[in-house]
Structure 1
């Protein structure tokens, strides 16, 4: 079985082949980018061609922008299959591939904080549950877009005299130019979700340097992530819940991770770093075919049929 695994986020889309050591990354796709199915397919095909991978039997797509409609999932699958030679394409929310890698297919809660937030709670028996992951407009609380947007909003409030002075103002001017017209350039950016999410790094750095405004944003982000974790732990049951934490925002040394770890000391969870990445999780699912923990959360497509 030759498998192509895809971890598709809003900032980047990564591809790995089960029979190659290379990992290739291309620009991510958000739901603001017109025909999202076509944009994701084009990005995957671009990465495929850049890597020069051999044809595969199965593609597993873990996507922040996974289509919710069967017809759209079929269309995406057909486009990817045509380019890669695959006879099967599996499409899932990235929370599923993330969990498969983070907990090596076992039960528990996985929480990945990147541009957005991917959380899946899987009990020892019973149905799994995706928590948050509602996108930058309505959810992904505590993720990089969430943090970056609040950081930039704080800069604009300070400039207006509506908020406290913050060291984030200097960084925002360096990254985006004149603060007086920052909002115009951000709204007009080709990939505004990614641009705003990237500012989360500045928020973390400023918080580490003692900036009160940035520190307040991180405190709130940690509280939001804790709320998500609690919902997941409640779903999995009363026993101490295995909890896998990962993503760019939750590196062990990050100020956000330190705040979250402090909050978790009184929770009924067993936190650890993820076992493997979401990309590894996509490959694991494709190679083992072990999808029993994720009933009804994966769209299976085959040449000539789908379900």
Structure 2
């Protein structure tokens, strides 16, 4: 029986080896190596071990800080919006939950790039929002009050547009884990807290919030990781002014500044930082669970 089960797992092992393990090994090798010209006449090159790829990353400190800042802001906004929605959904009837779930999942059925292109049409200088503001006289009112001569509100190619794109695309990844945890809570615990004299606010703070923390941590991880590594959202909604780590890595592999060794080093550092963040959050979640049980 064990042999049969091991054979069933063979396709998964092969898949993981081809598309996970081997790419990571290649990334590590590229990150710690560099090509040098051995013979100028023949153009012969050799590969040597070096740490210079990591030293070069100091020039991109601003990009690192910007990426983590925008990802943290987007994650915080998703949490502030997603937790109340998840709690509200869990407390409503089954029919409402199905309808709300369909509305949340509906945008996910459309291609990621199409959703982002739609926001470009909404936010650009001659887009839907600016035309609406012109139609209702909001831009003229701002010009009159502030003494400006705005023709439109600059919304595209800004950090706000990038954060908006992140929140819109990744909000379901915050709602679903929290909702799945809250919906499974034992109502007898809430009733016991109320019987002991706890009001709604105290019940939420002492019972509901700690018990829902695993869903919160899962949601934070599922939003933060793609947000910090995104390149499509920042390229389309941020333009050339809001380069993030994903764009920087992309440029090292397919851009004019072709340098796969530097790109691999940046990707490796970003991966390590993300893994450390996930480990810290998981440890924090375990500590909170133990505190609740005690």
TM range (shorter): under 0.3
Q: Compare CA radii of gyration and give the structure with the larger one.
A: 2
Give the strand-richer structure, 1 or 2. Answer: 1
Compare the two structures and name the one with the higher helix fraction. 2
